[in-house]
Structure 1
């Protein structure tokens, strides 16, 4: 399959975060694009005559079939398949498209090892009960089972592939995980970072995830999964420093251990993007397709600029500035 074989793309989702950027990337590369969703969120492409919207519920097979008949897509990017049953329906309905790409997750991996590699690191198991559960605890197992559906479909001749992003950041990130740290940098001179600052949780710039979805659709191998993440990883402390550089701010990163945090009623896990065991994914397989990631400073500059234009502040992740001030006072006395 070459880049010119595909000219019409259907993005299931397409208005919030990864899907929104996927639409923009596809448009930038000459695709005709349609989005399929229920209309529960604002459509950023409402006034863009290059993007067709088909209304429907992706869990309703009749709606999904109608979208296929209406759009006649060459490629399908599935951003909102959260249950194995969603993927099962999609690979059947879109069994004859040139490429079906399932947005999976790095959470699908079921073993802690460095790095996590496609086809080597075991995936999470998924019980029938987990396959229908909607809790955060079953997210990884559900995505892993979705991957297995893709693999089985490819064995039956469906051009189905999977892309596994790690934690995604960038413009329009409704999770607001990085917004918390950007807000901290812009509001305070001293920033509490749990541990020694070297904890590592692999992240992926959203525009790179979008380009990965297109590249896999164009050049990927059916039945394969592809990790996507920044090619250069940044520790939590380095992330704060990248934010400060992008924001033109000067901050003092203060490390706080478990004892100092506990004295203020906090723990390292109270700080978003902290992870005790490193989460690192090998991205060489995707890179071999010709995909490239954006330099971290460029990605962060765009992310900070968009944050300033938004109303997001990451407040839901805030461990409490008063508690942080207590930690700083404790550290100042040591």
Structure 2
């Protein structure tokens, strides 16, 4: 395979995917609406076709124009979109759909492909745009991929957990980087040992390519850092990348509540561990970036951007009240 069509391709995962494909000698075309700045607009190696992925004719035109060997679907958020895509691209060598670790419907440690139950998805959820239906929609997209493979279509999916790294418009990690850059004492909810598996974005990009090249039709592959870190360890890794020392201060529900906060007010906190097995993907030859290096690159990107994660900020005044309470105990 050497000719790739990326549906999306300019914001976060898709942007890194395009770079990874170029680094591996693919001819790349991106297909999107053009609503966001195109970081590859001056790169003659990347062609751009403007169109809406919900427009079936536009997708067919892109397919006929590019004649891709591999299609990477970065912006399929509803199962109907996946169903259309697998039919339009039924004869390509690989169709890779970005699903999500949120597709799993039960809490297990770790969550394994083909073992852990997926979310159910009602007809109403399948066409809904809410956050609550995100996991069910992604799970139903997986089932569309599995059914397509049963018809001989070379469709497969990847399931990343929380994705972080350069150009992350969600700014979830940026909140914690900003805290480490600006404060000596960092409030961490609970005892700091909670785990929400994360995946470095460049590794998600390489996983998509590896799955296209080496994966099996009808299979899903989890993507996540091969080394898991707790929330407190994540803060420590950020501090190391920044080159500073911070004091992590644990705050329980009672101390947080006294300042009008709860553990869930802190982004990337999750009460029950969310851990994905990545062994299946690793068997294809995929490797992950060491967490220390991934965080160093993420911190560099943060410093070069205007991202501060402020939309996730529980309020430093409230945190200071929590610190004052804890200092008196």
Q: TM-score under structure 1 normalisation?
A: 0.98
Corresponding residue of 2:213: 218
Could you tell me which residue of structure 2 aligns to residue 159 of structure 1?
154
Per-residue CA deviation, residues 308-332 of structure 1 (Å, 9 max, x unaligned), is 0000000000000000000000000
Which runs of no fewer than 5 residues in structure 1 stay unpaired? 1-5
What is residue 228 of structure 1 aligned with on the other side? 223
CA distance in structure 2 between the aligned counterparts of 1:13 and 1:102, rounded to whole angstroms: 12
Match of residue 302 from structure 2: 307
Question: Any residues of structure 2 matched to 1:234-249 within 5 Å, and which?
Answer: 234-249=229-244
**Distance of 2:6 and 2:26 partners within structure 1:** 11
| Alignment correspondent of 2:284 | 289
Q: Counterpart in 1 of 2:83?
A: 88
Secondary structure, aligned partner of 2:47: strand
Partner of 2:311: 316
SS at match of 2:187: strand
Q: CA RMSD in A?
A: 0.3
SS in 1 for 2:156: strand
Alignment of structure 1 residues 23-42 onto 2, 5 Å: 23-42=18-37
SS at match of 1:26: helix
Post-superposition shift, 1:249? 1.4
Quote the offset at 1:261 in angstroms.
Answer: 0.3
Which residue number corresponds to residue 200 of structure 1? 195
Aligned equivalents of 2:241 and 2:293: distance in 1? 8
> Are 1:142 and 2:113 an aligned pair?
no
For 2:55 and 2:120, locate their aligned partners in 1 and report how far apart those are by CA, in whole Å.
26
Q: Output the TM-score relative to the length of structure 2.
A: 1.00
Per-residue CA deviation, residues 168-214 of structure 1 (Å, 9 max, x unaligned), is 00000000000000000000000000000000000000000000000
From 54, 57, 66, the equivalent of 1:62 is: 57
Q: 1:9 aligns with which of 4, 7, 12?
A: 4
Separation of aligned partners in 1, 2:55 and 2:107 = 36
Counterpart of 1:3?
A: none
- Deviation of 1:255 after TM superposition, in Å, equals 0.3
| Structure 2: gaps of 5 or more residues | none
1:133 equivalent among 128, 132, 138: 128
